[in-house]
Structure 1
Amino acid sequence: MTDATANGLERSQVPAVDPLERYIGSTIREMRQKLGLTIAEISEQTGISRGMLSKIENAQTATSLETLTKIARALGISLSAFFRNYDVPTGSAQHVKNGEGMEVVRRGTKRGHTYHLLAYDRGSTKLFEPFLIAMDDASEVFPTFEHPGVEFIYMLEGKLEYRHGQSTYLLEPGDALTFRGDIPHGPEKLIELPIRFLAIIHYATSDGDRMSRE
């Protein structure tokens, strides 16, 4: 028998560790150590032998619900809290640090007017675009914009008049404005500088978008 065959047999004889048992064992150990408790102290409180507790923590044995309830009580938590992190889907959040949004150029914009894109769609379908927009040049002349979907603006700093179609709106910190993107829109007059606001463009899905149709 070759070494490779022997090693293969040895590996095949090692029982696979159940993911739930591994989670239970590592969670018990983590909580116990966080509380500064020893296996002996948990054993004394629960009546479960130290050997059994050691096997549970190392995922070497299955745990009954009754046993797990005793351990949870000794740790001062409920069973629901014990399992709150089990089988949670892997996250894929996109974290953009302050000042690290990608600067983009939009048609007609000049100095004193910056767009920072705060999130980037990674799929084949663009769902939304969130921008942090900053303006600090009152002499700039702005073009009008038109695009699919619905746009939401939230004022953070400064004051300006914003045009949408034939209407203008005075926007101050804390104000919000939502409108159809396919109607000409854009800043009309910068009143108080510097100006910063969030602009989020939501593109219609296959189900349609009520505001974009109305």
Structure 2
Amino acid sequence: MTDAAANMTDCANTQHSLERYLGNTIRELRLKHGLTIAEVAEQIGISRGMLSKIENAQTATSLETLAKLANALGVSLSTLFRNYNMPAGGAQHIKQGQGMEVVRRGTKRGHTYHLLAYDQGPTKLFEPFLITMDDASEVFPTFEHPGTEFIYMLEGTIEYRHGQHTYLLESGDSLTFRGDIPHGPEKLLELPIRFLAIIYYTMPFGSIS
């Protein structure tokens, strides 16, 4: 097959795909509003057979007719095309309590990490943790790692050290800092403590301790 013939085939496939998408969208909107083919066809001035062909991707139609259809179905013309060729997506959905519990340096009794997203492959760009602390007697080590860390307090009160400075963090507070400077909990002031800690790596990074 020549390049020209291949391009013509691709264009034909794209056109049919668009017609099929528009037909399905128009049918779904019509049924959603409880309208019959006859009612919509009469409102916009085309035959029932033509509207049936449009819905079944058996014919192409003009933008003028599509605009009339959109108006009859109570949407804008752009709405008819809104989801055409939209990427499929594939977000990670972690239900409450289902984050993977991980062991990191300093993890002890009364101190848990739940990883809320799992990067695929050997490198990672960010790590979001839900961290829970409920043992005031625990002594915490300091941490150092590449990238930038963001903490958002959900519950409790903690004194958190970053380098030579300490910060009082209460529910609703946040703290953003460089991860390569020693940091970590200094004092647990009001238990239980829960906070989100999100580490963003400025370049892909392998597993961390």
Q: Given the two structures, how large is their TM-score scaled by the length of structure 1?
A: 0.86
The answer to whether residue 106 in structure 2 is matched with residue 108 in structure 1 is yes
Q: Following the alignment from structure 2 to structure 1, what is the Cα–Cα distance between the partners of residues 121 and 48? A: 51
- Matched to 2:150, the amino acid is F
State which of 162, 165, 185 in structure 1 corresponds to 2:163.
Answer: 165
Aligned twin of 2:52: 54
Q: Following the alignment from structure 1 to structure 2, what is the Cα–Cα distance between the partners of residues 81 and 26? A: 13
- Matched to 2:140, the amino acid is F
Q: Following the alignment from structure 1 to structure 2, what is the Cα–Cα distance between the partners of residues 113 and 200? A: 17
What secondary structure sits across from 2:202 in the alignment? Answer: coil
Displaced runs of 4+ in structure 1, greater than 3 A?
none
What secondary structure sits across from 2:124 in the alignment? Answer: coil
% identical equivalent positions: 79
Aligned twin of 1:130: 128
Aligned twin of 1:12: none
Q: Following the alignment from structure 1 to structure 2, what is the Cα–Cα distance between the partners of residues 74 and 92? A: 34
Q: What whole-Å deviation, never above 9, does each CA across 1:94-139 have from its counterpart, x for those lacking one?
A: 1111111110011122110000000111144310000000001111
Q: Following the alignment from structure 1 to structure 2, what is the Cα–Cα distance between the partners of residues 103 and 31? A: 45
Q: What whole-Å deviation, never above 9, does each CA across 1:67-117 have from its counterpart, x for those lacking one?
A: 111111111111011111111112021111111111001112211000000
Q: Following the alignment from structure 2 to structure 1, what is the Cα–Cα distance between the partners of residues 137 and 61? A: 72
Q: Following the alignment from structure 1 to structure 2, what is the Cα–Cα distance between the partners of residues 149 and 121? A: 16
Aligned twin of 2:23: 25
Q: Following the alignment from structure 2 to structure 1, what is the Cα–Cα distance between the partners of residues 176 and 22? A: 48
The answer to whether residue 202 in structure 2 is matched with residue 204 in structure 1 is yes
Aligned twin of 1:74: 72
Cα distance, 1:155 vs structure 2: 0.5
Structure 1, 184-193 or 67-76: larger mean CA deviation: 67-76
Q: From the two aligned structures, give the one with the greater strand fraction.
A: 2
The answer to whether residue 89 in structure 2 is matched with residue 88 in structure 1 is no
RMSD: 1.4
What is the number of residues matched between the two proteins?
Answer: 192
- Matched to 1:49, the amino acid is S
Structure 1, 92-101 or 116-125: larger mean CA deviation: 116-125
Structure 1, 117-126 or 154-163: larger mean CA deviation: 117-126
Q: Given the two structures, how large is their TM-score scaled by the length of structure 2?
A: 0.88
State which of 192, 208, 211 in structure 1 corresponds to 2:190.
Answer: 192
Q: Following the alignment from structure 1 to structure 2, what is the Cα–Cα distance between the partners of residues 165 and 70? A: 65
Q: Following the alignment from structure 1 to structure 2, what is the Cα–Cα distance between the partners of residues 201 and 90? A: 27
Unaligned runs of at least 5 residues, structure 2: 1-11, 205-209
Unaligned runs of at least 5 residues, structure 1: 1-14, 207-214
